[in-house]
Structures are given as C-alpha cells and as structure tokens.
Amino acid sequence: MTYESVKQVLLTYRGDNTTTSPVAVAGAGGLCGVVSWALIYPIDSAKSIYQRNCLMHQKGDAMTRPKIQFSNKRMYRGIGVSMSRSAIVNAIFFSVFEFLKKHINALEDK
C-alpha cells in the first residue's frame, strides 16, 4: 500500500501518470522499506529480547516474563541501520520489479 501510494503521489506531482519514472519507483520503494521497519522494529526488538531471555534461562529455574517497555530508548538501538539497509534493498527490489513488469507487459502486446 505504501509503495503504490507514494509512487502515485510522485507521478502525479511530476505531472505524468502515463509513464513510470525510475526515480518515483526507487523513492517509493525506499520509503516503503523505511515505513515497514518503523512499524515493526519495536515488535521485533521485543521478540529478540524474549528469545534471548529464553536462551539464557536455566532449566528448572522459575522464569519470569520480561517487562517490555516500548518507550525505552534501548528498544530502538540499530533502527537507523535497519531502515537504511531496508530503503536501499527495497528501492532496488521495486526498481527491478517494475522493469520486469514493463518487459513482460511488452511481450503480451506483441
């Protein structure tokens, strides 16, 4: 949803809805990756903390559930790196996707 919405906004801003701009595709793909990590990162961090605590737990000891605090700054360590990587990967992925889609559609027209 994020990818298509941002792509359409960028194409509309450019004033040409008939052709897909590579810049719009890469920008929309990059922003899609950033938005997805912004939404999932706190949940992923909580899962990782829980898994770590389970692995450190000794068999036979009483295990208490960890208190997950989403307002804690430690929950967001590494978010910049993850978002940057995701933006680059998604920009490349969606650029390749649109390129292949364009060529496959051209085959159907023949």
Q: Report how far residue 11's alpha carbon sits from residue 69's, in angstroms, rounded to the nearest whole number.
A: 40
For 10-61, write each residue's pLDDT tens digit. 888 877 666 778 888 999 999 999 999 988 998 888 888 888 878 887 777 7
The model's pTM:
0.75
Query: What percentage of the chain carries pLDDT values higher than 70?
Result: 89
Mean pLDDT on 62-87: 82
CB atoms under 10 Å from CB of 25, counted, come to 22
Task: Write the CA distances from 29 to 7, 47, 65, 106, integer angstroms.
Answer: 8, 26, 37, 23
Per-residue pLDDT at 110 exceeds 70: no
Distance, in Å, from the CA atom of 90 to the CA atom of 31, rounded to the nearest integer, reads 8
Query: What's the start-to-end Cα distance of the chain, in Å?
Result: 31
